[in-house]
Each structure stands twice: as C-alpha cells, then as structure tokens.
Structure 1
Amino acid sequence: MNTRQASFLVCALIAGAPSAVRADSEEEMGGPYLRLGAGMQWPENSDLKDQSCSSRNPPALFGCGPGDDGRSLGAYGGFEQSPMVDAAVGYRWASWLRTEALLNWSPQLNLSSTSNFLGRGSNQPVSASGNALAGFGVVYVDGPELATVRPYIGAGLGAASTSLGQVTYRIPAISNDAVTVTSGGSSTSFAYLLTAGVSIPVSERLDLDLAYRWTDLGTVKTNAGSATIVRPAGRSNLEIAGTQIDLQSQAVLASFRFRF
C-alpha cells in the first residue's frame, strides 16, 4: 500500500466514524419497546386478621385479645411461593431513562397459615387460594454499560386487584372433620414496586432482563358473609365479619425486551 492509498483509507475511516456513533446514539436515545417476562415470588410473612376485631354485627371471626400462643387472635403465616407474569409496553426517552406501563399477574396465590383460637391446640391449619392483577407506571434509570451488561434501577406506582376464595380453618384438636369455612372476597388497593437488575443484549433489538423486585400489592380482603361451621355434633351457619391480610413479596424475574 503506497502513501496515497494509506491516506485515503484513514480519511475514509475518520469520515465514517461519526455516522456509526450517531446511529448508536439514535438507537439508544428513543423508541418504544415491548417486554414479556415471568418469575417466582416469595411473599413475606403476614397475619390474617379481622377487619375490625370489635365488630358485633356481624361478629368478628377472631375477636380482640390474645390467642393460645400469646399473640393477638388471628392466623399467622401468609402466602406461599408462587409464579408471576409480566407484560409491559415501554418507551426509552434518553440513553439513561425509560418508562413502562406494566401489567403484572399472580395467577396462583395460596394462603398457608396457622390460627390460634383459644382452647383449640397448636395445630390449626388455615388455607385458601386466590390471585392478583396489578397495573403500574414504572420509571427506570439505566446505568453505564459494564462489559456487555447494563445495570438499572426502577420504581413504580399503581393499583392491584386481588381475589381470595373461601378460607378453610381446620381444627384437628376437635376432630379430623372439624372445619370452619368463611366467605372469600375481592378488593382493590394502592400498589408500588422497587426493582433492580441487569440487561444483557441478545441481538440488535432484543435484550434479556434479569431483575429483583420488591412489591407491595396492598391488602387482600374477604367479605362479610355466612360461615359454615362443621363439628361432630353437626353443621351450622353463622354470619361473620370480613378479614384481611397484607400482600408484600420479593421476586426474581427474567424477561425479554424487544425494541421496535
């Protein structure tokens, strides 16, 4: 290669560099995207309580005061580990800023607790199943790229609609068939989330997001209604006031983010 050819090649490379940088910058500076993901959540321990322990009409299920174990009357434990699904539409406003409209679904929430009714022994299993659907507006701040990984943090506000089926209280100390079954219910609560994760590029338009998330979906409630009481002496029905339990969870998720 002679001197003239070398000079021409250098000039061509220099002239082409701004175009490449500009193309990368334009891609990062804006545009819509779609994100789909799934993960597992671990709800925090929580207490199933009366909505009002002093309710008289209808009467509270638990009532006020301590139970057999010295704690306030109620059911202790919470929801079990369960799957969750994400669907979101987002927009990148700058290289470091993006927002999302996020829909989160928890299709299988299983309550597993132990009540402490007076004089009923230490084995008082409580169970129910439900689900939750939440919508959030989320803001993400993306950090600088480290090797091929880009960290981010985010926070979101929204609302959650939760549903819980009939709640079954078993009392083996009385008999194997002794149960009290109360009404389920549904409710809507203010919700919020905090998240942190990393993005890994898969292709020019596709990223893999791996995230940790803490979510507060508010309060899950049961309605006042008829409780079915089954004892060795027979079956009866009694009007009972509603109960409630908080739903907060930690989760890990994997999702694919496709840029249009």
Structure 2
Amino acid sequence: MNTFYASFLAFASVAFSSVAVSPAAVLAESEEQARGPYLRLGAGVQWPETSALKDQRCSSTSPPALFGCGPGDDGRSLGAYGGFDQAPVVDAAIGYRWTSWLRTEALLNWSPQLNVSAQSNFLGAGPNQPVRSSGNGLAGFGVLYVDGPSIATVRPFIGAGLGAARTSLADVTYRFPAISSDAVTVTSGGRSTSFAYLLTAGVSIPVSEKLDLDLAYRWTDLGTVKTNAGSAKIVRPAGRSNLEIAGTEIDLQSQAVLASLRFRF
C-alpha cells in the first residue's frame, strides 16, 4: 500500500500541478463539456503487487492444510511467494457527465491472463520450488470522476470506484526439482468473488469534437483469489498418491497504465 500511495499521489500531483480549480474556470468550460452519456473503451498493462499463496486456514486438519503453520525453509511463514505476472487489462464503460467537472461510469474491467509465478518454501524440498497457475478476472465498478480545468488542450482528472470482482484460478502446480525431475504436486483451482475498489488519475486529450483520448494510471484491489479444497495429486520417486487438501488464497492488487477512447453521444 505504501508503494501505491506514493505512486498515486505523485501522478495526481503532476496531473494537477499548476492547476487552481476555480468556479470561474469550471463555468468557462461548461460549453465544451456538456452533460450527457458517453462510451469508453480502453486497454493497458497491469503490474500486480508481490503477494503470497497461503492456506486459507493454516491450522486446518479436516481436510489438512497444504502448507500448515510455522516457518518454511527460508524462515518466512510456509507458503508460495511471488504473485501474479505482468498482464494485459481491458476496459469497457458507459458513463454520464453530470456537470462540467463531474462524471460517473459503470465500468467492466477484464484481466484475461492472471498467471501466478511463485516459489514455495516447503521444508526439506530444496531452494528451488517453482509454483505455477493461470487464471482470469472480471470486475465491475461504479466510478466517480472529477475533471480539472484544461491546461492548453489537456484536461487532468482523478477518480475512485467501488465494486466486485469474480476471479478464477486453474489447478496449481508445485514442482520440486531437488527431489527429482518429475516430483510434482497439483492442487485444485477455484473461483471466488471479492469486494473490489480502484483509484485513478490521468489526463484527457481531445481528438475530435466528440472523441477524447484518456491516458491514466490506476491502482486496483480485486480482493482475494481462492482455490478450492480438493484432491491433490502427488508424484514422487516412490510413487503416486492422492490426498485431500484444504483451499489456499492469494491477494490481488495491481498498478496499471491504460489508454482509452471516450466517445460522447
């Protein structure tokens, strides 16, 4: 969160630097920014924050937790550390401008490639324990924007949104090359729904009378991505087995940069 706030405040301060929002300035732009609906489509790249895949409840015994409580090989709590990879993100929104400086949106945000890359720290399994999975997420937000007055032809904005996210994660694969080249544990994936929110700042650049280009920085919290309890497939040099395992979870927060086209009807 500290990294996010520093980045967000820095971006917002640049966007609004040398801008003193006054009633006169707002009124002067009212003719240019008439109220009414608009459609916005955009895409960008997100950089998820470092996170850890851990047990939903490390003390679970029925079924047993995958990791359990206590420290791992590296001294940290047992888990898989790393998080989600850099990934694309897509926006589709319907909005309405209420005044020259205030607008709202119903936003759908799609993350088509939520791939997990991490390292687990099971005791006695060696220093290299790669963990991989793939997934996706769809979030819906109600977003409120405040637009500042134009500087030349560029208009800064800030915004905040609340909503919900539906995320899914495929089976999670844990490999243990220090044990053998084919030593692997595969646990169940899962789907989950979480409260979500976003904060954003950016600038709008007019392209034509009804079309604007929005360039934005965004921080998004899509909540917790969970896997289900289920049968874990375990392959070791001594043979194969199955074991019922409790579910795991990992938090998903990310920073992103996006470019959008906003068409006013």
Q: Does TM, normalized by the shorter one, top 0.5?
A: yes
* Residue 256 (1) aligns with residue 261 (2): yes
Partner of 2:51: 46
Partner of 1:69: 74
Partner of 1:192: 197
* Residue 124 (1) aligns with residue 106 (2): no
Partner of 2:64: 59
Partner of 1:168: 173
- Counterpart CA distance in 2 for 1:163 and 1:61 is 19
Partner of 2:241: 236
Give CA-to-partner distance per residue, 1:181-222, whole Å, 9 cap, x none.
Answer: 000000000000000000000000000000000000000000
Amino acid in structure 2 at the alignment position of 1:98: R
Amino acid in structure 2 at the alignment position of 1:68: D
User: What is the total number of aligned residue pairs between the two structures?
Assistant: 239
- Counterpart CA distance in 2 for 1:234 and 1:109 is 32
Amino acid in structure 1 at the alignment position of 2:75: G
* Residue 139 (1) aligns with residue 144 (2): yes
For residue 234 of structure 1, report the CA deviation from its aligned partner. Answer: 1.2
Amino acid in structure 1 at the alignment position of 2:162: L
Percentage of pairs with the same residue: 84
Question: 2:154 pairs with 149, 154, 158, which one?
Answer: 149
* Residue 209 (1) aligns with residue 219 (2): no
Q: Which runs of 5+ in 2 are unaligned?
A: 1-26
- Counterpart CA distance in 2 for 1:109 and 1:23 is 44
- Counterpart CA distance in 2 for 1:238 and 1:28 is 62
- Counterpart CA distance in 2 for 1:163 and 1:192 is 18
- Counterpart CA distance in 2 for 1:188 and 1:96 is 33
Q: Which runs of 4+ in 1 moved over 6 A?
A: none
Amino acid in structure 2 at the alignment position of 1:220: V
Distance change (3 Å), C-alpha of 1:66 and 1:145: same
- Counterpart CA distance in 1 for 2:128 and 2:189 is 22
For residue 25 of structure 1, report the CA deviation from its aligned partner. Answer: 3.2
**Normalised TM-score (structure 1):** 0.90
For residue 73 of structure 1, report the CA deviation from its aligned partner. Answer: 0.2
> Match of 2:30, SS?
helix
- Counterpart CA distance in 2 for 1:61 and 1:97 is 49
- Counterpart CA distance in 2 for 1:25 and 1:80 is 43
